[in-house]
Structure formats: C-alpha cells, structure tokens
Chains A and B, each alone.
Chain A
C-alpha cells in the first residue's frame, strides 16, 4: 500500500495508529471525568486503557500487513517496518505497565484515574517520535511524551520523594529539550531544512561538514543523551527512577528509553549517515556509559537503584548497536530493545510485589530466602537477572550476541571487548540478587508473607518469563522480523558487509 503524503486521506491513514490511540485517549479522559470515585472505576479505566493499546496494536499490524510505505521522498511522517516494530514495543511496554499498575495503585491508595490517561499520552508521544521523519515532528513527540511522564513521576503527591523525582526530571528534561531544540535550529541553519532525508541529501553534497552542522549534531546527541540516560547525562536517572512509583519507573526505563533510542537511530542514520563524526562520538559515549553504569550499579544496595543504574548500563549496550551502524546494528538494536523491555519490566514487576509503602527502600538483602517462600516469583526474578546479565538460554543473550556481531562486523572489536568486560562487572550486581533469594536464609518467618502479585501482575510476569526463555532458545522469528524491519532506516551510502 503506497501512501501519498500530499493526499489528505493517505496522510491520515499513515497516522492511523496515532489517531486510534488519540481517539481512545479522549474516550478514557471522558470516562475519567465522569467516574473517578471508586476502586471499581479505576479498574474499568485500566481495562479501557488496555483495550486502547490493543486496538492501536491492531491498527499498526494492519498497516504492517499491507506494507504501507510513503510515496516520494519528502514527508514529515515515516511509514516503514522499523516504525511498526518499535510501536509494538511501546504498546507492549505500556500494556505490561498497566497490568502491574492495577494492584499497585489500589495498594498504595493512589486513586488517580488520570494515571492511565497520562500513560496513554506518554505512549502516544513515543509513537510520534518513532514516526517522525522530520526533526520538528520528533520534537513534538518527545515533548508530548516527556510532559506526560513528568506528571506520572510525581503522581504520588503524598510522598516527598515522588515530588522530588518529578521536579528533578522536569528541570533536567526541560534543559535537555533546550539542547535538542537548539541543535535542531543549528542543523536547520546549516542545511536549510528539518526533514531528515533532505538533511541527509544536503550533508552528502556538503562534503566536509560545516562547524555549524557539527555543533548542531553535538547538541542533538546531548539532548538525546539525556533522554536515554547515557553517561555523563545520566545524573537524573537514579533519583528519578528511585523516587517515582515503581510501575512508572518500569515505564520510563523501557518505553521512554526505547523511544529516545528509536528517534536517535533514525536521525543519525537517515540525516547524518555521511558524517563519520557521530560514530566516534557515540563510540565514546557507549564506552563511558557501559563502564560508568556498571561501576555505579556495583555499589548499590537498594534493588531499585541498582536497576536504575543497570538501565544506564543497558543504554550503553544499545549505544554500541547504534554506533556500529549498518543494517546489523539497527536490527541488533531492535532485538535488544525488545529483550531489554521484557527483562527490565519483569524485574520491576517483581519489585512491585515486595513491600508496602516504600519499594524504593527494598535492599537486595531484603530478598533473602524469597525462593523458599515464593519460588515462582524468585524464579521469575532470577530469569530476568540472568537475561540482564546476558546468559545463554535467555533473550538477553541473543540480544547481546547480535550486538556483538554488529560491532565486530563494523570492525569495532575493541567496543565488543569492552562490552563483554563490563558484562562481567555486571555479574557483580545481578548475581547477589539471585544469591540473596536462593542462598541466604529467610531472616524471619514473616519476612515475605505480604509479597505477592495479583492475577494481572502475575500474568505480566508470566508473559515476560515465557518471552525471555522462548526468544532465548528459539529466536528465529524475532531475528527475521528485526532483519526485515531495518531496511528503510539505512542510508543508501553505507553498505557494510553483513551476515545474512
């Protein structure tokens, strides 16, 4: 199906998933304005949200099935398989977040149905980011997502740490947006356009890139660096992840990060393909993010902070995939982002089960003996930890293997070696979690009595665990999807030698 952006109907059709979700968001918003008193209303809102996400996924699937593409070169919206796949990732992350939120909100007395509305708006922003083929559209999506997530981080108004997290996230996020916007302005000044394809054309005509373009590129990378929490722009991440309600943290660590990465990948490949500078910048960024994230995580005793730093470390691994470039790099990115979303959400989901009132204070040692009392939860968390570690048999391993293939294909053997060495370091903080659960005795009989997930939380964890193990052993379909999805985000110029 070829869509002509000049025709009004075709343009709407290319935005079908976004329009469906917008429509649903209005429905949910109206419902919330009408019924927002009881726990039952909250539940219905959650169900409506899930319905919204599923129908958006179906709309996306319909476009994918009909191989919708944009006719002609210049369009503000991209319609390609890369967009559909990352859209599914966002929708999946949002749906799993909803599942773990249902019990959490009731338990924490957070009877705020707008929570779900904000979740939908955040997801919508991510989808717009992934769909943007123009820096302005990407910026719009980024802001829509960010504003929704700022509020989500502070949704627990009674807790000071939640408010602190929101404020910190807002201030630094606004700062990052400023960088991004200034970068866009400079790039516009250098090339006279904000469209990615046109920028790419201008850049390749330019030969040696001008100083203004390079400055703009640098600003863009700084702006995205904040959102993906790459070292040294990660300062906000631990405090914000720690202070926000756990399901929101899960959503930030997976969806927000994936969206920023998807936009980064598209911008770098399509607009700056011919500029070698960004490969080097991302190379260094990847190295310090992997080293920094892993070393900081090593010192954490709180499980939630450890996961926050671990998500910084994983941003480093994803940066390796982006920096490797080429088709292999982009498909490795997709595979890893799917695996990462699953395993990270799984870990946060189990975390919501532990403790009341203040999950942020769950220490790793507080899990001692969980395996004897709650064997299935412990097993799920162990699978997530091993997958985060990149252990064979889990999706995390397949993802890491793919990133390593991409890096070595691009001739970046040093980067690959640093990746595996920092992975060894990460064993130093993932293993203690397993160690506490399985190898240390319960401190007292009642230590884990209140640890439990409701039916929906359990189903979310089950989906994660099955997904991780399935993709870990039989990743063929996933790899095929990732391989076919990245053809369009490649600049025509780079033709790296890649395995089939």
Chain B
C-alpha cells in the first residue's frame, strides 16, 4: 500500500504545496514552504527502511498516460536512484531555511519555484518511462532558469540564458534519440512503448545507429555533469544563482548527468560506451576535468567560482569511477555524488552566509576572520577538509573507493587523478588560509557577526552526514551494492563483478 503511492506522493506534494505558497499571503510563503519541504522529507525518510537492497526496481507504480504513443507514468527506485531522491528531499528544507534572509523580493514566487523544482528533480530520478523522464528533465529547467534569472546576481540574465540554452540543446538531441530508440524497439517487437525495461530489452542490434544515439545521450548528460569542455555554463550559473540555487545546482542538478550515464547511456549502448576509443576519450575528459578544474579553481579570486570549478573536478572523479566499472569504483562514484551534494552544498551555504554579512565573495576581502567569527571558521574548516577528502570525512571514502576501484581498469589515469586530490588540497587550503587565518587586515571584517541559530540549524545536519559517511559508510554502501553489481554484470558479464565490496 505504502509502497505504491510513496513515489507518487513525493512527486505530487511539492506541486500542490507550490500552488498553496503562491495563493497564501506573501509573508507566510517561507513558513509554508519550509513546512511543506519538511513534510516531503518526512514522506521520503521511510524509503531508507522500506528499500530492500536488491538489484531490481522497487516501490514501482505504473499507470497509462498517453495511450496513443504507449506513454506510461512509471516510477520506481533502485540502489542508484534511492540516494539521489533522499539527497533531494534532504537538501530542500535546508535550502529553504538557508534562503530565509537572503531572498527579500517576490518571496512566494521563489519558494513556489523551489517546490516545483523538487518535483522535477525527483521525477528525473524515479522516472522509468523515457517520455516521463524527458518531461521531468525539462520541467526542472524552467524553475532553475527563473531562480537564476530573477533572484541572481548582477550578471544573472546572461547566466540564466546560457544555462537554459546549454541544457536545452543537449536535451533536445536526446529527445530525438529517445524517439529513434522507441521506433526501433517498436519495429523490433511490435510493441510501441516508452517503458524503460521495454526499450532496454530491445536496444540490441542497433548497429551503427547506436553511435549516433549514444552521442545524443552523451551530449545531454555530459553538459549536465559537466564534462570538460562543456562546462562553461557552470561557473556562470553557480556564481550568479542565489545561495539556494547554487546548492541545488551543485547538489542535485549536476548528478542528473552522471545518473543519466548510469541509468541510460551505459545500459542502452554498452557496445559503444565500452568501445576502446570512447573509453579513452571519456576517461581523458574526466581527467582533464579533475586536473584542469582544480588548477582553474586555484587562481579564482571569487570564492563561489572556486567552489564551482571544484565541482568540475569532483564530477570528474565520478565519471572516472563510472567508466572504470568495478564494484568499488561504481560505489565510490555513487558515494561521491552524495558527498559532493553535502560538502559542496555546505560550502555554498557558508559562502552565502558570509556574503549576506559582507556583500563580497572575493577571497581578498576577508582574512583573519577566525577571531571574529570562530564558529563560522570552524565549520568552514571541517567542510573544506571533507571536500579535500581528508580521512574520517565523507569525501575520503568516496574518492578512495573510486581510486582503488579504477586502478585495476585504468592504472595510469588513476595515478594522474590522484594528483587531483593534491590540487584540491592546494586550492582549498590556500583559500581557507586567506579567508579565516592571515592577519585581520580589513576593518570591515571586525564587526562581522557569527552564525545565528538558524544558520547553525542549516549546517548541523550536513556536518552530521559528513562525519557519519566518513566513519561508518556501510549502510550506504550495502544499499547501493546490489544495483551497482547488477549494472556491472549487465555491462561486463564475467568474474570481475563478483568481488567483495570495498570497505575502508
């Protein structure tokens, strides 16, 4: 009973709440939105226990939608999407609470869009029908476009349209690929349906068509990840977006790209994806992302831009882990997807909080503020360390798994990727030093106030997760394992998939 309506409730409730927020008095908007997102989180929490670690889809629901084209409303979760859904519902209340004093104009619109965005994001992760997936993929685009464009920084219009057009370009080509796949499956089996399992089952014998289709899916997902050289929208969008927008962009939207690879591009076209040349190209691009992203982050004067480029590097690790296709590397990639949402999300929150006080994101505007705002400095340090992947924090577990898992498949690439960890330490620690240590040179910084209870409330859940995953990642890993194993088994049938799960 609970099982069949749970995911649907997660999709419908935010839409409903979004409408309520719009209709209610403007001064109540944020309270209603916060309550709604907490309810959403409460609905999703039982997923953690209801979910039985196994390879298949669970909590599925299936209804006919557009009969003429064989479109169904089909949703379900497995070990890959489960955490993405939970991460989404977990970050939403925090984002709303984090925007409490940041957003001052047109509040109902902002919170309503955040809630609609929630539906879109969860929809992308749970859709098991490619029409539904495509619709959700596009639906989350509009709220984000408005969030950047209306509530963003000075250069927001440029950032918003760049974000929109990049994503739109990728997704429309994916649309054609979905249609070709649909017709191919229809002609092969006589059944015209956009169902995930149906298309997956009939995706064989595509011949050279598979290259084009993979290319279209690749473009859509690679833009979203973003993979070098398609990453140029990301620094603009991240920097201009309001805090909540940056958190969600980094925390969830980027993961849609890597999720897309895991769910669609790899299983549909294994022959192309595991072709030697394609592998080489993607691993090299991931490596460039890791090292180039880190190096560019190192020279950023703007703290927010630094974090944006560090995202490029982190997502490079994810791509490396996915393409290495060992149990450890895939689990590591999934874990980095979660960790990046938590750590980078926390970093964006922290930058947003200090920006509200000082109205500057430049690293050079600060210095020595550890004496003025000790709590802020302490939390920033912990979060930065977790982003650097210090042992004991969540970041370490993920990157370690990816590195040991990938070493067997790509020894040289993995060795090079390891330098990315060092680069990460270089840019984040330097930035940390320049912001919170060094002498307190600027008089404006002497009057900064430390974190308020509301801000602490936003950050504490993130800190708890940083330490929990860092110290005891087993509950996460055991839920991911069967699905990861099934994925690898499907792509690379053989003994390699039978390894014991890596546990640091």
* Chain A residues close to B by CB (< 8 Å): 386, 391-393, 401, 404-405, 408-409, 413, 416-417, 420-421, 423-424, 427-428, 431-432, 435, 438-440, 475-476, 479-480, 483, 497, 499-500
Q: Are A475 and B66 in contact (CB under 8 A)?
A: yes
Among the stretches B167-175, B277-285, B450-458, the one at the interface with A is B167-175
Q: Are A423 and B172 in contact (CB under 8 A)?
A: yes
Nearest chain B CB to A134 CB, angstrom units: 33
Q: Are A391 and B138 in contact (CB under 8 A)?
A: yes
C-alpha gap A438/B147 in the complex (Å): 11
Residue of A nearest to B138 (CB): A392
Please judge, given known A-B contacts A439-B150, A476-B66, whether A392 and B176 are in contact too, CB under 8 Å: no
C-alpha gap A435/B150 in the complex (Å): 9
Nearest chain B CB to A396 CB, angstrom units: 12
Q: Are B139 and A439 in contact (CB under 8 A)?
A: no
B60-87 vs A, CB cutoff 8 Å, 1 = contact: the mask equals: 0000001111100000000000000000
Residue of A nearest to B169 (CB): A424
Among the stretches B154-162, B325-333, B404-412, B493-501, the one at the interface with A is B154-162
Residue of B nearest to A416 (CB): B176
Q: Are B173 and A439 in contact (CB under 8 A)?
A: no
Q: Are B157 and A439 in contact (CB under 8 A)?
A: yes
Q: Are B68 and A438 in contact (CB under 8 A)?
A: no
Q: Which residues of A contact B161 (CB under 8 A)?
A: 427-428, 431-432, 435
Query: With an 8 A cutoff between CB atoms, is B192 at the interface?
Result: yes
Q: Which residues of A contact B67 (CB under 8 A)?
A: 476, 500
Please judge, given known A-B contacts A475-B66, A480-B68, whether A427 and B176 are in contact too, CB under 8 Å: no
Q: Are A404 and B179 in contact (CB under 8 A)?
A: yes
Q: For the complex, would chain A's binding face be called helix, strand, loop or mixed by DSSP majority?
A: helix
Residue of B nearest to A402 (CB): B69
3 smallest CB-CB distances across A and B, nearest first, come from: A420-B172, A392-B135, A479-B68
Q: Which residues of B contact A475 (CB under 8 A)?
A: 66
Identify A499's interface contact among B70, B146, B160, CB under 8 A.
B70
New A-B pairs, 20, CB < 8 Å, besides A416-B179, A427-B168, A431-B164: A392-B134, A392-B135, A392-B138, A401-B175, A404-B179, A405-B182, A408-B176, A408-B180, A408-B183, A420-B175, A423-B172, A435-B149, A435-B161, A438-B150, A439-B146, A439-B149, A439-B150, A500-B68, A500-B69, A500-B70
Residue of A nearest to B175 (CB): A420
C-alpha gap A435/B183 in the complex (Å): 37
Query: With an 8 A cutoff between CB atoms, is B448 at the interface?
Result: no
Q: Are B172 and A438 in contact (CB under 8 A)?
A: no
Please judge, given known A-B contacts A392-B134, A435-B149, A500-B68, whether A417 and B192 are in contact too, CB under 8 Å: no
Query: With an 8 A cutoff between CB atoms, is B187 at the interface?
Result: yes
Query: With an 8 A cutoff between CB atoms, is B165 at the interface?
Result: yes
C-alpha gap A475/B183 in the complex (Å): 20
Sample of 26 A–B contacts (CB below 8 Å): A392-B139, A401-B69, A401-B175, A404-B175, A404-B179, A405-B182, A408-B183, A416-B176, A420-B175, A420-B176, A421-B173, A428-B161, A435-B149, A435-B157, A435-B161, A438-B149, A438-B150, A439-B150, A439-B156, A440-B157, A476-B68, A479-B69, A499-B70, A500-B67, A500-B69, A500-B70
Nearest chain B CB to A305 CB, angstrom units: 20
Q: Are A424 and B172 in contact (CB under 8 A)?
A: yes
Q: Which residues of A contact B69 (CB under 8 A)?
A: 401, 405, 479, 499-500
C-alpha gap A214/B341 in the complex (Å): 63
Q: Are A409 and B183 in contact (CB under 8 A)?
A: yes
Query: With an 8 A cutoff between CB atoms, is B362 at the interface?
Result: no
Q: Are B68 and A483 in contact (CB under 8 A)?
A: yes
Query: With an 8 A cutoff between CB atoms, is B235 at the interface?
Result: no
Q: Are A393 and B175 in contact (CB under 8 A)?
A: no
Please judge, given known A-B contacts A439-B149, A476-B66, A476-B67, whether A499 and B176 are in contact too, CB under 8 Å: no
Nearest chain B CB to A259 CB, angstrom units: 26
Residue of A nearest to B173 (CB): A420
Nearest chain B CB to A363 CB, angstrom units: 16
- Which residues of B from 130 to 153 have beta carbons under 8 Å from A? 134-135, 138-139, 142, 145-146, 149-150
Q: Are A421 and B165 in contact (CB under 8 A)?
A: no
Q: Which residues of A contact B176 (CB under 8 A)?
A: 404, 408, 413, 416-417, 420
Query: With an 8 A cutoff between CB atoms, is B267 at the interface?
Result: no
Nearest chain B CB to A72 CB, angstrom units: 32
Residue of B nearest to A375 (CB): B109
Most-contacted residue by chain B among A392, A424, A475, A500 (CB, 10 A): A392
Q: Which residues of A contact B175 (CB under 8 A)?
A: 401, 404, 420
Query: With an 8 A cutoff between CB atoms, is B270 at the interface?
Result: no
Q: Which residues of B contact A392 (CB under 8 A)?
A: 134-135, 138-139
Nearest chain B CB to A334 CB, angstrom units: 13
C-alpha gap A413/B178 in the complex (Å): 12
Nearest chain B CB to A119 CB, angstrom units: 34
Q: Are A499 and B150 in contact (CB under 8 A)?
A: no
Q: Are A499 and B168 in contact (CB under 8 A)?
A: no
Q: Which residues of A contact B68 (CB under 8 A)?
A: 476, 479-480, 483, 499-500
